[in-house]
Amino acid sequence: MNAPVNSKDLKTGSTRRELVVGATLVGGALLVGCGPGDILAVGAKADFGAFGPFIKIAADGAVTVISKHIEFGQGNHAGLAAIVAEELDADWSKVTVEQAAANAKVYANLGMGVQGTGGSTAIANSWMQLRKAGASARAMFVDAAAAKWSLPAAEITVKDGVVSHAKSGKSAGFGDLLADAAIMKPPETPTLKDPKAFTLIGTDRVRRKDSQAKSDGTARFTQDVQLPNMLTAMVAHAPRFGATVASFDATEARKVPGVVDVFQIPTGVAVVADNTYAAKAGREALKVTWDESKCQKHSSDKLTADYTQWAAGKGTLPEKTPWQAFETRGDATKPTEGQIFEAAYDFPFLAHATMEPMNCVAEIGGGKNKLTFGSQIPTVDQLNTAKIVMTLPGKVEIETLFAGGSFGRRGNFQSDYAVECVHIAKKVGGGRPVKLVWTREDDMTAGYFRPLTHHRVKIVTDKDGYPVSWTHRVVTQTLMKGSPMPTKGVDETTVEGTKGSPYLKATPVVDAQVLLPDLDVPVLWWRSVGATHTAFVMEHTIDQLARKAGKDPVAYRMAMYEKAGATRHMAVLKLALEKAGPVTPGWSRGVAVHESFGTAVAQVAEVKLVDGVPKVGRVVAAVDCGIAIAPNQIAAQMEGGICYGLSAGLFGRVSLKDGAVEQTNFDTYRVLRNSEAPHVETHILPSGNAPTGVGEPGVPVIAPAVANAILALNGQATNSLPMVKA
């Protein structure tokens, strides 16, 4: 889940997301009649050893940091381990990371209230928690040494896992002092370092701990799980969302060597086999007749046409679908004098298209309720599993593995593919392991897309070309459907980025509304969520307004930021431009700036058109993410986020036709390839603020920067994505 939890929310500790997920917990709690923390904790006793749930230290002094967050690419394991190692003064070269078990009581994301990773919160919510854990363990070693050596604790220092007393020349490793330290009382309020004294955080020494395993084939993904007696399953899914199984003929499927069983489950017909290829061959031989009487038959073209009408105030709105205001200022009913700028923008459905298609291993029955997979929100996966197998959520064990990407896809209130695997494993029974494998085609057509979205803006500008009135309409699907609690107020995931924009803040009259038609097309957060479309609309609109006013787009932005008090926007834009230097001859330049998840990012993109297709050569990114913990990984997230956003901006499009998804694999869903990737230079704004996330904020900035470069090149605005039409 790339849920919109920002740093401000983390401080108040109560977020809309928490309320929503909290309601899931209440559902579970009602089921069993006790508190959410208790029912979700695995096992009654929480025996985490002397240094608490986040730190294990071995007899040889080696430090293991327990990560409550899944590592699916964004490098959080490196950052989380570095926070602990910094305060503990551990030897970084000997620090390893281990994945925590599912246990919401101990391992909740403090920004969500449940155990889960997303919304670029892994580092942000863990920052103080892990600093305290590290500092507490360090104090225990200092106290142990002081007692053992009969020396004042204040004179004892720790460096690289070695505890020393300079004057006496005494020193001992963590391993030597382990038994003594383990019986020390942890301090109630451990003393944290002054960030100026950090020796690891913020340095290039903070590198990934998983690069070797991910470079030699030994990193373990769900796809790689092999267990004794394990079966592999594939499922024949409905060709259209909402269709159900009318009947099926498994005669031929059962003849396929290796096929063990064929049976119906809620989402289709499962073929269970001894190995993956047999499951696939079995599924191909299966004949299913689908009942499509109740399924949706949407087409992207018709949806786009409808959304365009509705945003323009024409046509008939769907029932029970009102316009909802999300930002209002001044009196929009009074006509405003000035020049009028109008534009509309269209965004398609997008697939997350992680490299590892969705999959899960489940062992159900015979006293076992275990899932092994890349679980993004273990608490929700526990709850959804518990409902099927009729147990307490805390009795569902989850072993979280590396996941081959998520980008939002694996954080799902329905736990869709995990639940599918649980149904199959339950039917197989006896605790026999079942690995559900989705093919790429399953993955791409099963949905949970970034919703198809339409924006319309009407802006009145003053004599200097600045907005005096801004009318904004968004039509998209809510991402909160299926959440256990009806959303109160506007679903912010649909409008964040337009809502809260400094450009709106700098405009005296604002009338911004969203319409959320209910389509029965499964949609979900997609890396950077609302900003995937709002950042494009705001940033590309601003460039057009600036050019219409005959002003430089950078100066125009700066004037509006000044008015809005958007000092971080100004700082990152200034830094990016400074580092970018003069425009590379032969290239056109575009800039864009956007803040999401508490992190402000500016990008300067150099673009040329090659046979009419945008080629992005160089991107200079500046980022303000508070204190930089792992600069190398912040750069990696800018590089990767830019590729992800550029892939969607140039090529990404899932389309529906008569209810069926037209793209099935990478031959029809084009993604960015190596030769199309820009060279990214990342610059981090020095900051003393608490860290904010970097997994998502680099994503939404690149497409508008590219569109703005094209606008500068030939005056052509980009009013629909992707830029390269199939």
- Based on the shown chain and the rule CB under 8 A, indicate whether residue 80 belongs to the binding site for other proteins: no
The sign of the dihedral angle between the CA atoms of 493, 498, 499, 501 is positive
Closest distance between other proteins and the C-beta of residue 207, in Å? 5
User: Which range touches other proteins (CB under 8 A), out of 259-267, 355-363, 497-505, 594-602?
Assistant: 355-363
> How long is the chain?
726
CA distances for 169 relative to 164, 172, 200, 217, 285, angstroms: 7, 10, 25, 45, 76
In angstroms, rounded to a whole number, what is the distance separating the alpha carbons of residues 393 and 383? 5
User: Minimum distance from CB of 576 to other proteins (Å)?
Assistant: 12
From 210-218, 299-307, 360-368, 413-421, give the range in contact with other proteins by CB under 8 A.
210-218
Range 157-196, binding other proteins (CB under 8 A):
none
Residue numbers 396-415 binding other proteins by CB under 8 A: 402-405, 407
- 74 is a site residue for other proteins (CB under 8 A): yes
Q: Which of 202, 394, 447, 659 binds other proteins (CB under 8 A)?
A: 202
Q: Is the CB of 149 or the CB of 221 nearer to other proteins?
A: 221
CB of 273 to other proteins, least distance (A): 10
Here the tokens at position 633 are: 């990984």
Cβ atoms of residues 506 and 465 within 8 Å = no
**Segment interacting with other proteins, rule: CB under 8 A, options 24-32, 200-208, 385-393, 528-536:** 200-208
Single out the residue of 4, 113, 348, 357 in contact with other proteins (rule: CB under 8 A): 357
- Smallest distance, Å, CB 352 to other proteins? 8
Considering only 21, 634, 660, 711, the residue that binds other proteins (CB under 8 A) is: 634
Structure tokens at 283: 């599924």
Q: What is the dihedral of CA 638, 639, 643, 646, to 10 degrees?
A: 50
Residues 644-683 that bind other proteins (CB under 8 A): 644, 647, 665-667, 671-675, 677-683
How many residues sit close enough to other proteins to count as binding (CB under 8 A)? Answer: 74
Least Å distance, CB 529 to other proteins, is 17
Specify the residue, 423 or 683, whose C-beta has the smaller distance to other proteins.
Answer: 683
Candidates 406, 447, 510, 374; CA nearest to 654 is 447
Cα dist from 550 to 30, 292, 457, whole Å = 62, 55, 20
Interface pick for other proteins out of 47, 188, 204, 337 (rule CB under 8 A): 204
Among 93, 215, 293, 316, binds other proteins (CB under 8 A): 215
CB 264 → other proteins: shortest distance, Å? 25
Nearer to other proteins by Cβ, of 85 and 177: the residue is 85
Measured from the CB atom, the residue of 273 and 371 that comes closer to other proteins is 273
- Binders in 465-504 for other proteins, by CB under 8 A: none
Give the separation between CA 721 and CA 605, rounded to whole angstroms.
17
Question: Which residues make beta-bridge pairs with 66?
Answer: 98
* Identity of the residue, 140 or 643, whose beta carbon is nearer to other proteins in the bound complex: 643
Residues 283-322: x where in contact with other proteins by CB under 8 A, - otherwise, as a string: ----------------------------------------
CA 44, CA 624: separation in Å to the nearest integer? 42
* Part of the chain binding other proteins (CB under 8 A), chosen from 56-64, 201-209, 502-510, 710-718: 201-209
Q: How far is CA 75 from CA 8, 82, 108, 122, 525, in A?
A: 23, 11, 19, 10, 20
Asked if omega into 393 is within 30° of 0 (cis), the reply is no
**∠158-87-147 over CA atoms, to 5°?**
40
Q: Hey, is 139 helix, strand or coil?
A: helix
User: Which is nearest to 128 in space by CA: 104, 148, 111?
Assistant: 111
**Nearer CB in complex with other proteins: 39/672:** 672
Using CB under 8 A, which residues numbered 423 to 442 contact other proteins?
Answer: 437, 439-441
> For residues 56 and 579, which CB has a smaller minimum distance to other proteins in the complex?
579
Contact (CB, 8 A) for 326 and 512: yes
In the complex with other proteins, which residue's Cβ is closer, 214 or 505?
214
Options 15-23, 30-38, 82-90, 211-219: segment touching other proteins (CB under 8 A): 211-219
Give the nearer residue to other proteins in terms of CB position, either 457 or 685.
685
The C-alpha atoms of residue 419 and residue 424 are separated, in whole angstroms, by 9
Q: At 695, phi and psi to the nearest 5?
A: -65, -30
Considering beta carbons, is residue 530 or 645 the nearer one to other proteins?
645
Provide, rounded to whole angstroms, the least separation between the CB of residue 17 and other proteins: 24
Round to whole Å and give the CA distance between 401 and 71. Answer: 8
**Cβ distance to other proteins smaller for residue 425 or 629:** 629
Q: How many CB atoms lie within 10 A of CB 476?
A: 25
Helix axes 631-650, 531-548, angle to 10 degrees: 80
From 67-75, 337-345, 416-424, 462-470, give the range in contact with other proteins by CB under 8 A: 67-75
- Residues 238-267 binding other proteins (CB under 8 A) are 257
Pick the stretch among 68-76, 102-110, 262-270, 473-481 that binds other proteins (CB under 8 A).
Answer: 68-76
Q: Of residues 62, 128, 147, 219, which one binds other proteins by CB under 8 A?
A: 219
* CB 375, min distance to other proteins, A: 15
Cα–Cα distance measured from residue 546 to residue 466, given in angstroms and rounded to the nearest whole number: 8
Are residues 469 and 508 in contact, defined by beta-carbon separation less than 8 angstroms?
yes
Window 32-61: residues binding other proteins (CB under 8 A): none
The reply on whether position 639 binds other proteins by CB under 8 A is: yes
- Angle ∠(194,195,198) on CA atoms, nearest 5: 105
Among 251, 277, 464, 719, binds other proteins (CB under 8 A): 277
Closest to other proteins by CB, 207 or 370? 207
**Binding region for other proteins (CB under 8 A) out of 164-172, 207-215, 340-348, 491-499:** 207-215
Q: In the bound complex, what is the minimum distance in angstroms from residue 223's beta carbon to other proteins?
A: 6
Q: Which residue among 276, 324, 414, 720 contacts other proteins (CB under 8 A)?
A: 276
Q: Which of residues 571-630 bind other proteins (CB under 8 A)?
A: 579, 628
Distance set, CA 708 to CA 545, 568, 581, 602 (Å): 11, 21, 18, 13
> What do you get for the CA distance between the two ends of the chain, in Å?
29
Residue closer to other proteins (CB basis): 551 or 579: 579
- Candidate segments 287-295, 349-357, 450-458, 609-617, binder of other proteins by CB under 8 A: 349-357
CB of 696 to other proteins, least distance (A): 13
Min separation Cβ 554 and other proteins, Å = 21
In Å, how far are 99, 116, 414, 551, 616 from 70, measured between CA atoms? 7, 8, 19, 46, 32
Least distance in angstroms from the C-beta of 416 to other proteins: 20
For residues 256 and 244, the answer to whether their CB atoms sit within 8 Å is no
**One-letter amino acid of 252:** E
H/E segment holding residue 24:
helix 16-32
Q: In Å, how far from its chain's centre is CA 310?
A: 30
How many beta carbons lie within 10 A of that of residue 162, not counting itself?
Answer: 18
576, 621 contact by CB (below 8 A): yes
Place of tokens 């080629």: 615
Which of 621, 461, 472 has its CA nearest to residue 551? 461
